[in-house]
Structure formats: C-alpha cells, structure tokens
C-alpha cells in the first residue's frame, strides 16, 4: 500500500437498465458521467383492451405509446372514441414492458434513475452493458476496504497528525464535496456528520467495526463493498478499530491536500490527480501488526525479522516475527504492500 504514480485501470460495474454509456476511445475526466440508466420494479398489470372496449388484436391500433417506451405518470397509453372517450393512463412513471395476449398491459414502475461517474482522468478502453473501463495516470494509494459509492472531490486535511481521530466538530458545510483526510481513526459520528454536510468521502486509517455496522448496517463486513443509494463513502487505509498511519503514507497524503482525487470503492483505491513529481514516494514501507488486544493496528517502523516458531504466553507455538518489543505471531503481521487478501 505504498504511493505509486503509474497508469491505472478502473472497472466501473453497471447496474441493469443501461440507457446511455460512453463509447470506447472517449476521453473522460474523473467525475464525468460515463453511464446512466433506469432501474425498474415488478410490473403491474393494467386493463387494456377490456377497458377500451376493443379486441386484443385491435389494441395496437389505439396505442399512443409503443411497447418498450418509457412514460410519465398520467400519460395516456391508449385511447378510443371522441365524444365518449375511453383511455388507459399510466398510474406511475414507468416503461411499457409487455402487451399480453388478452390485451392487458404490463407497466414496470421506475424505482431509481442511476448514473455512474468515472474515477480516473483517461480514456475509455472498454464499454459494455455490464461495465465501463477507464485507463489513465494518477498517484494511487491502495486501501484495505471501501464502503459506499465512488466519490470524486478535492482532498482536504482534517486532522493535525497521523494518529489523530477525525473529530465531528471539525466538519461543517464548508467542506461540501471534499474528500476528507482523517488520521488513525474515524468514528460513526464523524462519518455521518460528514455525509450530512455534503462531504464527498472520508479517507481514514481505520474505522471501528461497531461504527461500520451503525453506518452501513448489521451486515457490513471487512470486505470492500460498493453500494448504490444515499450512504457515506469511506476508505479504510490500514484496518479496523484504530491505527496510526505511517509517516510514509500520511505525509504525502497531507502534502496532496487541495488536489483533485477520486475513490474507486470496488478496488478500495484512492486516485490523486497531481503531477508525477508532486510528492516523493517512500522506498521502504513498514509492515502492519495487530496490537495485543486485537482492537487496533500499528505499523512496525523498526527492524523486523522472521524468528521461526516461538512459544507464546498462551502456550501456543507458532511462527513469529521478532520486533523491537519482542516476538509476535507472524499471522498478525501484514506487509503494507501485500496484495489484498494476502497474509
């Protein structure tokens, strides 16, 4: 999880119901709408031929709207007569999904109109009804997990140091549409206040598991989750509970405050759009380890070496890593640059 400037690729998964999408070869900027569409609910049945007093075979002659077309609430779908007119109108916004053999109509109501925005400045390299891929250069920071929708905004430093907790009192509407840089911990109150103030996203070292459940529901897990709907966007860089961001990660992040950035939640990556020489990436990145009570994560800034099998106080014998304050189980240590899901 070190800083890198390189060509990146981001896949943007699309929900069902695509109506428009960017073609391949199109240049886009982060935040541009690259696809949009409509989500429909279960169809409702409307009396058609029976209501109009015509045979099912004659229904097509009196239809005002073609099957498959989208209509607004109150629009006339079909009509007969002049002086003594009969009509079928749409009770809700929706799409004429089907004309039945008996002359009735199936109207699929509109549940949601959605749009997907690019998270990279670059070129659309793939465009299908299931995903749009964008490739472009950016500074990239890989996190552990991300929650909510993709977000785009300007980075804003909201803490004084890498171990500080993001305080709700430091968040107000002046930070609207910004991506906040948190420290070692961001609680549920700070995240919900940021969302209420229109903040685009929060980048933080860690979030307590209880806080995640409060914000995202009881089924929230450690796996990166991309959601649609009105929910906050949060990127966890180190882990869960509490953590102190290593200086090699926090210092460049703070230096990039004011730059445009985007969070791609499906891959838990932060993209920052700055010049290749905007920051100096550290060559050596510390490893991470669980603290003794497993309630937080800390970085191992000093030397660490494999110590073979060690008998711990619990009488468990396991491979260990020796650090300045003694051995710790190797299973509790993770290299910052290890692939997601790795040891």
In a domain, 16, yes or no: no
Q: Give CA–CA dist 319/128, Å, rounded.
A: 47
Q: What backbone phi and psi angles, to 5 degrees, belong to 340? A: -60, 135
Report pLDDT for 2. Answer: 78
pLDDT of 115 above 90: yes
pLDDT of 288 above 90: no
What is the chain's Cα-based Rg? Answer: 27
Average pLDDT over residues 119-132: 96
Least confident of 66-75, 115-124, 275-284, 327-336: 327-336
Least confident of 80-84, 130-134, 173-177: 80-84
Report pLDDT for 85. Answer: 86
In a domain, 79, yes or no: yes
- Could you tell me which residues are beta bridge partners of residue 231? none
Structural domain ending residue among the three candidates 85, 112, 139: 112
Report pLDDT for 316. Answer: 74
Q: Give CA–CA dist 253/270, Å, rounded.
A: 10
As given in the structure block, the two tokens for residue 123 are 């070129």
User: pTM of the entire structure?
Assistant: 0.78
According to DSSP, residue 330 is labeled: G
Structural domain ending residue among the three candidates 88, 112, 136: 112
Counted domains in the chain:
2
CA 94-226-242 angle, 5° bins = 145
In a domain, 18, yes or no: no
pLDDT of 341 above 50: no
Residue 65 belongs to a domain with what CATH number?
Answer: 2.40.50
Please name the residues in contact with 217: beta carbons below 8 A apart, sequence gap of 6 or more.
none
As given in the structure block, the two tokens for residue 319 are 């491979």
pLDDT of 287 above 70: no
Range of the domain at 50: 39-112
CA 156-160-164 angle, 5° bins = 105
Closest CA to 2 of 340, 282, 255: 282
pLDDT of 12 above 70: yes
Report pLDDT for 339. Answer: 47
In a domain, 166, yes or no: no
pLDDT band at 292 (very low <50, low <70, confident <90, very high): low
- Tens digit of pLDDT for each residue in 42-52? 999 999 998 99
Q: What backbone phi and psi angles, to 5 degrees, belong to 10? A: -130, 125
Least confident of 96-105, 157-166, 244-253: 244-253
In a domain, 121, yes or no: no
As given in the structure block, the two tokens for residue 299 are 């970085």
The CA-based dihedral angle spanning residues 87, 91, 93, 95, taken in that order and rounded to the nearest 10 degrees: -60
Report pLDDT for 248. Answer: 83
In a domain, 43, yes or no: yes
Report pLDDT for 257. Answer: 95
In a domain, 228, yes or no: no
Q: Give CA–CA dist 255/266, Å, rounded.
A: 26
pLDDT of 205 above 50: yes
What mean pLDDT, rounded, does the chain reach?
86
As given in the structure block, the two tokens for residue 171 are 């968040």
As given in the structure block, the two tokens for residue 149 are 């929708």
């Amino acid at each position: 999880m070190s800083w890198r400037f390189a060509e990146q690729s981001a896949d943007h998964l699309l929900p069902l119901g695509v109506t428009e999408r960017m073609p391949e070869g199109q240049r886009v900027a982060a935040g541009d709408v690259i696809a949009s569409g409509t989500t429909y609910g279960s169809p409702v049945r409307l009396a058609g031929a029976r209501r109009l007093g015509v045979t099912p075979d004659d229904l097509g002659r009196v239809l005002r709207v073609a099957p498959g077309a989208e209509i607004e609430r109150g629009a006339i779908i079909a009509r007969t007569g002049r002086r003594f007119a009969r009509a079928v109108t749409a009770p809700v916004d929706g799409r004429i999904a089907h004309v039945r053999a008996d002359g009735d109509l199936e109207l699929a109501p509109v549940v949601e109109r959605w749009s997907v925005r690019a998270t990279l400045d670059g070129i659309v390299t793939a465009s299908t009804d299931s995903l749009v891929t964008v490739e472009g250069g950016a500074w990239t920071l890989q996190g552990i997990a991300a929650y909510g929708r993709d977000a785009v905004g300007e980075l804003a430093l909201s803490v004084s140091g890498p171990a500080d907790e993001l305080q709700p009192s430091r968040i107000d509407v002046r930070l609207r549409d910004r991506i906040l840089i948190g420290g070692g911990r961001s609680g549920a109150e700070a995240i919900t206040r940021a969302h209420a103030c229109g903040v685009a996203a929060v980048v933080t070292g860690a979030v307590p598991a209880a806080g995640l459940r409060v914000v995202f529901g009881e089924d929230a897990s450690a796996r990166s989750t991309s959601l649609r709907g009105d929910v906050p966007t949060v990127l966890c860089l180190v882990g869960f509970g509490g953590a102190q961001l290593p200086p090699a990660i926090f210092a460049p992040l703070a230096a990039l405050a004011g730059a445009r950035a985007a969070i791609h939640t499906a891959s838990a990556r932060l993209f920052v759009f700055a010049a290749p020489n905007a920051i100096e990436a550290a060559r050596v990145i510390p490893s991470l380890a669980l603290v003794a009570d497993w309630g937080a994560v800390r970085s191992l800034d000093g030397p660490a070496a494999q110590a073979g099998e060690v008998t711990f106080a619990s009488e468990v014998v396991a491979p260990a890593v020796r650090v300045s304050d003694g051995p710790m189980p190797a299973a509790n240590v993770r290299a910052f640059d290890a692939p997601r899901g790795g040891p």
